[in-house]
Amino acid sequence: MAVKAVLAACASLSIAGALLATGGCMPTYPREKLADAVKDVCKIEYGMDVDVTLIGTTMGIYYPMKGLLDAGMGISEEAWDNISNLLLIASRVGLSTDADMMFYCVIAQDARMPELQVVIIKYVDDVKRAMYRNISRSEAFKRTLFTINLTPQAKKERSIEKIFENLGVEESIREKVMDEFFRSPPTKLSDVGYWRENFYLKEIAMEEFLAAQIANRVKIGFGADKELKKMFAYKSAEGLFGSDEGLRFFLIKYKIADIAGAGEVTELHKRKIGEIIRVASKVVGGYKFEDFDVLLLEDQLENVKLTVSGQDVRDFEKKRLSVEEIVRAPAGYF
């Protein structure tokens, strides 16, 4: 249901974009009135009361809805309709504003249980490319970051509140300490959310978006590919981007277990690492992103760290490079 809903939303965005492309040159959503205009559109067209913010080149839309989850603890059909409408509006804004908007983030929570959230992040240029059919519908879906998680700020505050309660700290002091030390903008995409009438959103950088997309595609690949599922048990993956003494790197931390009896360990390692490098190569190639030096891989189950040069990542499929020749790994890993 989730995949179908998001794919349907992507199709709607393409249609909306094509219609907007035929319009005039004046921005429909000028930057100085952007938040209020989006709120008005959501209210008038869909009866939604939303909160909107613009942080640098990133727009956030938050909507608390009733019935986010169905009886099976999945996203309800009504919720998917609401989320699709929010994505449609976000795309219209991104395609018709004079604000320098690169990304938009839609956050949905159940009004009765805001500790659980849905977060969807899209790159505006991907919406444009899908509109002009420069990328396929399935590719547009893979370029969308979609997560369902516990609201990070809620988890943080709940744990601190328990400590305050045990210590008997006064309410006025609690709030002061919370504001000064625990209510700050997120440093990672995984910490994005909304809590107690406040956005916890950051200006999204292209490199961290690509790092998160690599991890997301690893999840999709190992979780959906029938052949890979016979060999590996996917548990988690996280993508980060960083720099150290001028060295710029993608860091992919993952927990992907080898399935006993699926093959020799060495061959399983080659296949697993080869698949992750292939995904990274496709992502950086699709965005023509070259501003990184290495790809770091951290196998958290085996406590192994691997390194691949940025050039080898970019050339991986084009030159059909051998995994064991381009990956720096501990002795005996391959």
What is the model's pTM?
0.89
Other Cβ atoms closer than 10 A to 168: 6
List pLDDT tens digits, range 237-275: 999 999 999 999 999 999 999 998 877 999 999 999 999
Mean pLDDT score of the chain: 90
Which of 68 and 284 is assigned the larger pLDDT? 284
Cα 37-42-46 angle, rounded to 5 deg: 150
Task: Identify which of 235, 243, 214 has the alpha carbon closest to the alpha carbon of residue 300.
Answer: 235
List pLDDT tens digits, range 135-162: 999 999 999 999 999 999 999 999 998 9
Amino acid type, 149: N
**48/90 Cα distance (integer angstroms):** 13
Q: How confident is the model at residue 23 (pLDDT cuts 50, 70, 90)?
A: very low
pLDDT of residue 22: 41
Enumerate the domain spans of the chain: 2-148+198-203, 207-328
Label residue 293 exposed, middle or buried (CB < 10 Å: 0-12, 13-18, 19+).
middle
**334/312 Cα distance (integer angstroms):** 18
pLDDT over threshold 90, residue 13: no
List pLDDT tens digits, range 203-249: 999 999 999 999 999 999 999 899 999 999 999 999 999 999 999 99
Other Cβ atoms closer than 10 A to 27: 17
pLDDT over threshold 60, residue 126: yes
pLDDT over threshold 50, residue 21: no
Segment 279-297 shows an average pLDDT of: 97
Q: How confident is the model at residue 66 (pLDDT cuts 50, 70, 90)?
A: confident
Two structure tokens written together for 230: 């016979």
